[in-house]
Structure 1
Amino acid sequence: MKRQVAANRIITSDNTEIKLGVVELDDTIVTRVCSLQGEQPFTEWIGGTITIKTADGVMHAYKDNKMI
């Protein structure tokens, strides 16, 4: 299932910080990370900080140490 989630802060796997960012997911795999550009349709606001971690070449998103 594809979905988009937005948060106040996104920390990427290389420790880059994006303020007001969007993470696009395909099931639990991150397919894209970008800055939030205005109101985007079908985007779920979860607030707080999302952390992107890479394992075996696959990126996953975490909120409060739980996979999104």
Structure 2
Amino acid sequence: MQEIIQYAFFWRTEENVGAINLALADGSGGQVIVDSPAEASLLLDVLRNERPVFYDRANALIMTGLEPVGEGE
């Protein structure tokens, strides 16, 4: 599992599919295919607003770090 340090998003309007390209802390990268605007919105919200965020390549998993229960904005 590696921390995500940068990301880029694209959406193919004709095919109605997109992807989020990830740059990871170890210098490697990953890609997450997104099938809907709702899925893209959810993942981009996590990438924009949470810290730290990690990517587990083996399980194709994006995960936030632990946060206290009831933490407000």
TM-score with structure 1 setting the length:
0.31
Of Structure 1 and Structure 2, the greater helix share is in 2
Larger Rg: 2
Say which structure, 1 or 2, has more relative contact order (CA 8 Å, 6+ apart). 1
